[in-house]
A and B are shown apart, each in its own frame.
Chain A
Amino acid sequence: MAKLIKTEEEILLSEAANGFLSQSAPVSRLREMRDRGATSDPVLWQEMAAAGWAGVLIPEACEGADMGHAAAHVLAREMGRNLTVSPFLSTAVMAATVLRQLQDEASATKMKAIAAGGLTYALALDETSKFDPESVALTAEKRGNGYVLNGTKRFVVDGGSADRVLVLAQGPEGLCLFDLANGAKGLQRDPLTLIDSRDAADLIFEEVEVAGDALLGGEGAGYDLLRPALEAGQAALAAESTGLAEAAFAMTTDYLKERKQFGITIGSFQALQHRAAHLWCEIELTSSAILNAGRLLDEDPKSATLAVSVAKARATETAQKVVQEGVQMHGGIGMTDEFDMGFYMKRARVAAEWLGDYGYHAGVVAKMRGF
């Protein structure tokens, strides 16, 4: 396996990404977006697409940059640092991973559109309040040459704004993955107002008719097709959470060096020093898990499951610990809306639930490690 250190290209990419994001999409942009009631940022996505990010996992033949998962993690991490709002994970990571497994003209066309920034996707997965992708009640019934979908999907990230939706449904021959327009007749979108101010919606499917070619990869093949995309998304989300943790941690240590109480900087108190040092250690371990997941997804994706779940579990927990300590160590100011720490805490909470929480991924690890 390639070494667990960043390559020259990855270092350059992260510097470029951080340069761009801290200029064009810092936390203040998220704040401004929230204040005017928006939940997505299409202008920013165009700029990211122009930089090649939308095509990070799309083959060059389809006009993508094909940089691989580790590179996608570098980008996601910088987005986490800046709390950048974009359909990167849904579209550029997960939908792209589904589509590139299909060797047909239609998928190639879609990938070209994604890479150019002209097409966004949402993945409709959850049906309860917890991620459990294989238990699906939404039905796909065969009718004529097509299918009819009935059921409800919850917490569909980017579901309010995405052009298209990938839906996992219970078909006659098992799980089926459908690709349909988000505005399809009978598909009702109920936008959610989430704590992290980003786009998510409940999608209600009532007699939604789709053509036969909306089915990707054949009946019963839905989960096999989706699974690599979920793993890619989980790892990239873990990378985002780690970037988020790093930024929240840096804010906190900066504050420890500057805030004075009792006439001295609070960073000289050992009670705070040791807690900060411990958080640094947690971030180090989690960073290793992210690098490892990226390398495996690029080199041997079929055996990446354990690495991905370790990464997502660790990143979920690390980000939450860091933001919780971040607020506590900032004291009163950490609780104010005017200060950015709250944005980090809210995003960490949403990222913890999306694509499987700590318990879900611990369960995957347990299964693979003889528990």
Chain B
Amino acid sequence: MTTATDDSQNALTDFRAEIRIWLEANCPPEMRDGAAGEAAICWGGTSWEFTCEAQKTWLQRCAARGFTVPTWPKAYGGAGLSRDEDKILKQEMQAIGARSPLDSFGIWMLGPALLKFGSEEQKQHFLPPIARGEIRWCQGYSEPGAGSDLAGVQTHAADQGDTWLVNGQKIWTSYADKADWIFALLRTDREAKKHLGISFVLMDMRSKGITTRPIQLISGASPFCETFFEDVEVPKTQVVGTINRGWDVAKYLLTHEREMISNGGNVMGAGRPLGAVLSESETGLSDPILRGDAMRAEIDTLAMEMTLERYKDQAEGGQGLGDASAMLKYMGTELNKRRLELVMAAEGSAALPWEDTPASSWLRTKANSIEGGTSEVMLSIISRRILNLPG
């Protein structure tokens, strides 16, 4: 007798076989080197220069199958895969060392927000170009006066009937200088309580009045920019969700961002045991204090990995992560800072030159517990929303 479970298992087995054949036929050899991290990322967009022909081919073939955004509905450029199917696709890609065909803020952030809050027209208009890697997005959230207190954004959108007139400044806009469009939080009602006067607005970066300037960090060059808005005209159809209720969209999206940052395989040392990494240093792990600290960090890293796994299992079981993402963000980024401190200590003076050392990564990790909500903000979220301590 076959049961429903057997049938769905068989379907998944068939799906896996199909994916294997498709990958074998379509993934160019150059895209099977297992490379991850900044240099291997294909960001897409109108200004994107493919690193090689294979990168372009791989993107186009994946986009044609909906595999750049496998779980999005087919109507919007996805493949409509179930979670189980998506997992199989990722496993099979990993098995041949396939690179991700496309990564972007459009995929990670705006897409999920549009799918949840966007109008049908907005979905049809904006999602397929994200899936095809044609339009690259950046995020306009923080302002010089609104960091941790994000709901204090002041960049103003004045009501002009069918359009908004936008004036103000955003900061920490990653890749603003390379993006085609921006999704931003704008103050659309100065009289309302601060969370209730914000709208989530999409803007073309080529609009008259938008300029950008890159920011140099302690770790060196960075993708961060300042973005300035001077009398920028924006059609009102480009508001996502309800006017003045943009905070709901922003919160939803921030949860995604936190999960992404804490999940960041690229910053978590790609799962390599810390002991192995540190043992490769010139003097190894002979210092007992360093060794002890490293052992603690390794235990916590393993517990963190198990927690990511557990939360994924919970999500698949239909239990949303919600505010617990603040925990992942806080613990993940703090742990990452610890790990890089240990790497620097183990390398000793060999780590001090800029070139070919972990120095720049070490400095960069200091931003992990600031960007996307500081550790302190995460702790406050946990304290209020999970522990229900008085506010």
Interface of A is mostly: helix
* A362→B293 CA distance, assembly (Å): 10
User: Are B390 and A369 closer than 8 Å at their CB atoms?
Assistant: no
Which residues of A have CB within 8 Å of B292? 362
* A274→B378 CA distance, assembly (Å): 9
Report the minimal beta-carbon distance from A120 to chain B, rounded to whole angstroms.
33
User: Are B327 and A366 closer than 8 Å at their CB atoms?
Assistant: no
* A288→B389 CA distance, assembly (Å): 24
Smallest Cβ-Cβ distance to B375: which chain A residue: A274
**Are A370 and B273 CB-contacts (below 8 A) given A4-B309, A281-B331?**
yes
- A253-306 contacts to B, CB under 8 A, are 253, 256-257, 264-265, 267-268, 270, 272-274, 276-278, 280-281, 284-289, 291-292, 306
Q: Is residue B330 contacting chain A, with contact meaning CB distance below 8 A?
A: yes
Which residues of B have CB within 8 Å of A313? 299
User: Are B317 and A5 closer than 8 Å at their CB atoms?
Assistant: yes
User: Are B303 and A273 closer than 8 Å at their CB atoms?
Assistant: no
Q: Is residue A3 contacting chain B, with contact meaning CB distance below 8 A?
A: yes
Q: Is residue A371 contacting chain B, with contact meaning CB distance below 8 A?
A: yes
Q: Is residue A83 contacting chain B, with contact meaning CB distance below 8 A?
A: no
Which residues of A have CB within 8 Å of B299? 310, 313-314, 361-362, 365
Q: Is residue B352 contacting chain A, with contact meaning CB distance below 8 A?
A: no
Which residues of A have CB within 8 Å of B9? none
User: Are A253 and B313 closer than 8 Å at their CB atoms?
Assistant: no
* A370→B273 CA distance, assembly (Å): 7
Q: Is residue B391 contacting chain A, with contact meaning CB distance below 8 A?
A: yes
Smallest Cβ-Cβ distance to A369: which chain B residue: B273
Which residues of A have CB within 8 Å of B291? 366, 371
Which residues of B have CB within 8 Å of A281? 327, 330-331, 382
Q: Is residue B300 contacting chain A, with contact meaning CB distance below 8 A?
A: yes
Q: Is residue B295 contacting chain A, with contact meaning CB distance below 8 A?
A: yes
User: Are A270 and B380 closer than 8 Å at their CB atoms?
Assistant: yes
Binds A, one of B74-82, B169-177, B274-282, B358-366: B274-282
Which residues of B have CB within 8 Å of A256? 389
User: Are A369 and B387 closer than 8 Å at their CB atoms?
Assistant: no
Q: Is residue B116 contacting chain A, with contact meaning CB distance below 8 A?
A: no
Contact of A3 among B313, B382, B390 (CB under 8 A): B313
User: Are B331 and A277 closer than 8 Å at their CB atoms?
Assistant: no
Q: Is residue B124 contacting chain A, with contact meaning CB distance below 8 A?
A: no
Which residues of A have CB within 8 Å of B298? 365-366, 369, 371
Contact of A280 among B296, B307, B314, B382 (CB under 8 A): B382
Chain B 355-391, CB within 8 Å of chain A: the 1/0 string? 0000000000000000000001011101110111111
* A270→B152 CA distance, assembly (Å): 21
Chain A CB count within 10 A is highest, among B298, B316, B384, B388, for B298
Which residues of B have CB within 8 Å of A287? 310
Smallest Cβ-Cβ distance to B315: which chain A residue: A5
**Are A365 and B327 CB-contacts (below 8 A) given A257-B388, A274-B383?**
no
Report the minimal beta-carbon distance from A322 to chain B, rounded to whole angstroms.
13
Which residues of A have CB within 8 Å of B378? 277
Which residues of B have CB within 8 Å of A306? 302
Contact of A288 among B294, B309, B330, B379 (CB under 8 A): B309
Which residues of B have CB within 8 Å of A278? 379
Contact of A365 among B302, B306, B383, B388 (CB under 8 A): B302
Smallest Cβ-Cβ distance to B312: which chain A residue: A4
Which residues of A have CB within 8 Å of B253? none
Other 19 A-B pairs with CB < 8 A, given A285-B300, A369-B273, A371-B279: A265-B390, A276-B383, A276-B387, A277-B382, A277-B387, A280-B327, A280-B387, A281-B327, A281-B331, A285-B306, A291-B306, A292-B306, A362-B299, A365-B298, A369-B274, A369-B298, A370-B276, A371-B278, A371-B285
The 5 closest A-B pairs by CB, nearest first: A371-B275, A370-B276, A4-B310, A273-B383, A277-B382
**Could you list 26 A-B pairs, sorted by A, with CB under 8 Å?**
A4-B309, A4-B310, A4-B313, A5-B314, A253-B387, A257-B389, A268-B390, A273-B383, A277-B380, A280-B327, A280-B386, A284-B307, A284-B324, A284-B327, A291-B310, A314-B299, A361-B299, A362-B295, A362-B299, A365-B295, A365-B298, A366-B275, A369-B274, A369-B275, A370-B273, A371-B294
